[in-house]
Structure 1
Amino acid sequence: MERRTFLKLTSALALAGVAPSVFATAKEPFTVYGAPALPSLTIAVAGLQGQLAKQREVILKVWRNPDHLRAGIASGEFKVMMSPSNVGVNLRNQGQKVGMINILTNGITQLVSKKPLNSPEELPNKKVIIPFKNDMPDIVFRALLKQRGINAERVDITYAAAPAEAVSLFLSKEFDAVFVPEPLASACILKGKKMGVEVVRSFNFGQAWAEAFNSKPVTPNAGIIADVDFYHAHAEEFEIFHQDLQNALVWVKNNAQSAAEIGTNYMPAPAPAIANAIPHANLTVAKGSEMKEEIMRFYEIILRYNPKLLGGKLPTDDFFLC
Structure 2
Amino acid sequence: MKNKKIFLLVLICLMSFGLFACSNNKANAPKEGSKVEAKEDKNNKKDEKDEKDEKDSDFKMPRVAALKGPTAMGMSKMFEEDQSNLTILTAPDQVVAGLSKGEFDVAAIPSNMASILYNKTEGKLLKVAAINTLGNLYIASSDASIKFIPDLKGKKIVSAGQGASPEYVLNYLLEKNGLAPDDVTIEWKSEHQEVLASSGEDNTVLLLPQPFMTVALSKDKTLVENIDLNKEYKKATQGRPMVMGVLVVSKAYLENSKKDFEEFLDKYEDSIKFVNENPKEAAAIIEKLGIAPAALAEKAIPKANMSYEDGMDMKRDLEGFLSVLEKANPKSIGGKMPGEDFYFVED
- Indicate conservation of the 8 Å contact 2:199/2:206, yes or no: yes
Q: Are 1:94 and 2:101 matched, yes or no?
A: no
> Structure 1 residue runs of 4+, over 3 Å off?
265-269
What is the aligned counterpart of 2:286 among 256, 259, 263? Answer: 263
Q: Are 1:35 and 2:67 matched, yes or no?
A: yes
Q: Are 1:207 and 2:207 matched, yes or no?
A: no
Partner of 1:128, secondary structure, is strand
Distance 1:44 1:203, change over 3 A: same
Is 152-161 or 244-253 further displaced after alignment? 244-253
What is residue 108 of structure 1 aligned with on the other side? 136
Q: Which has the higher helix share?
A: 2
Partner of 2:163, secondary structure, is coil
- Indicate conservation of the 8 Å contact 2:73/2:291, yes or no: no
Q: Are 1:66 and 2:85 matched, yes or no?
A: no
Greater Rg by CA: 2
**Offset of 1:29 from its aligned partner?**
4.6
What is residue 130 of structure 1 aligned with on the other side? 159
Is 121-130 or 248-257 further displaced after alignment? 248-257
Partner of 1:252, secondary structure, is helix
Partner of 2:72, secondary structure, is helix
**Offset of 1:163 from its aligned partner?**
0.6
Unaligned runs of 5+ in 1: 1-20
What is residue 17 of structure 1 aligned with on the other side? none
Deviations 1:70-126 (A, max 9, x none): 221221112210000011111111114111011111112222222232211111112
Deviations 1:227-283 (A, max 9, x none): 112123222222222222222223212321221122235566422221111111111
Q: Which amino acid counterpart does residue 185 of structure 1 have in structure 2?
A: M
Q: Which amino acid counterpart does residue 119 of structure 2 have in structure 1?
A: N
Unaligned runs of 5+ in 2: 1-52
Aligned Cα root-mean-square deviation (Å): 2.4
For normalisation by structure 2, the TM-score amounts to 0.77
What is residue 12 of structure 1 aligned with on the other side? none
Greater relative contact order structure (CA < 8 Å, 6+ sep) = 1
Partner of 1:202, secondary structure, is strand
Percent of residue pairs identical = 23
What is residue 3 of structure 1 aligned with on the other side? none
